[in-house]
Structure 1
Amino acid sequence: MSNVHGISMDVERVDEMVFMEFKAIGTLTHSDYEKITPLIEDALVDVEQPIVNVYVDGTDFEGWQLQAAWDDLKLGLKHGKKFNKVAFYGNTRWQEVMSKMGSWFVSGEFRYFEEPLDALSWLRE
């Protein structure tokens, strides 16, 4: 397991439509969530009824430290109802299983993809 870890994030917002793109690398830590959570909060702050579509590139994702898993759960519980579609692009069986569990915490659709273009085109449907 590598020591390189983190989450990069890009946000596009047009009126009520919010598109978030995440790249998760390595084993995520509490400090990764301390950096990313305010960015998510800022992206959603002034939107009355946000329609949020999310693309997650998990091809370099290895999991979470325990505290980070809790941080992820809290984020899902707080903002999950705002998510319209979440597309998780991954490359391992455990990520596919994890993405099915992720659907428990969002009100919209949560799907796993093995091809990035399939994921992006589904989000744009």
Structure 2
Amino acid sequence: MIQIINLDKENVIAARISDKVSKNDVEKIHPLIHDIIDKVMKVNFYFELVDFESYTLKGFWEDIKVDSAHISDYGKMAFVGEKNWQEWAAKATDFFTSSEVRFFELESKEDAQKWINF
């Protein structure tokens, strides 16, 4: 599930991600990406991963489609999580994108929010 949260920055999409991410969840993010792109800005992401399990198959496919269509529109990405595999996923994302990607432990989410807002 993706729950949009507000960090009061017009080029940041912030979300709390838990359980499984579905196609409908990813579809919530896509128009937000376009809103930022239309303002001729890079899209920064702040993702809090709390009890996040995985994607549904359709959710994973939708995420790949959105990311491949907009990968050059992305700026910084902050992944805030609680598990080693989430840190590994952030490092993999950093490897496959030109975005600046960082992983933060859940107890350091304020540091992540400061970093993504500058």
Shorter chain as denominator, the TM-score bin is: 0.7 to 0.9
In the TM superposition, what are the counterparts of 1:58-69 in structure 2 within 5 Å?
A: 58-69=49-60
Q: Which residue of 2 aligns with 1:73?
A: 64
- Do the aligned residues in 2 keep the contact of 1:76 with 1:105 (CA within 8 Å)? no
- Do the aligned residues in 2 keep the contact of 1:89 with 1:119 (CA within 8 Å)? yes
In the TM superposition, what are the counterparts of 1:27-42 in structure 2 within 5 Å?
A: 27-41=20-34
Say which SS state the counterpart of residue 72 (structure 1) adopts. Answer: helix
Distance 1:34 1:123, change over 3 A: closer
Say which SS state the counterpart of residue 86 (structure 2) adopts. Answer: helix
- Do the aligned residues in 1 keep the contact of 2:37 with 2:43 (CA within 8 Å)? no
Out of 7, 10, 13, the position equivalent to 1:20 is 13
**Gap regions ≥5 residues in structure 1:** 1-5
Please state which structure has a larger fraction of its residues in helix.
Answer: 2
Say which SS state the counterpart of residue 92 (structure 2) adopts. Answer: helix
Q: Tell me the alpha carbon deviations over residues 21-47 of structure 1, each in whole angstroms, 9 at most, x when there is no partner.
A: 111121111222233323333x23522
Structure showing greater radius of gyration is: 1
- Do the aligned residues in 1 keep the contact of 2:20 with 2:54 (CA within 8 Å)? yes
TM-score, normalised on structure 2? 0.82
What is the root-mean-square deviation of aligned Cα atoms in Å? 1.9
**Gap regions ≥5 residues in structure 2:** none
Whole-Å separation in 1 of the counterparts to 2:37 and 2:43: 13
Distance 1:53 1:38, change over 3 A: closer
Distance 1:9 1:106, change over 3 A: farther
- Does residue 8 of the first structure (1) align with residue 3 of the second (2)? yes
Whole-Å separation in 1 of the counterparts to 2:62 and 2:73: 17
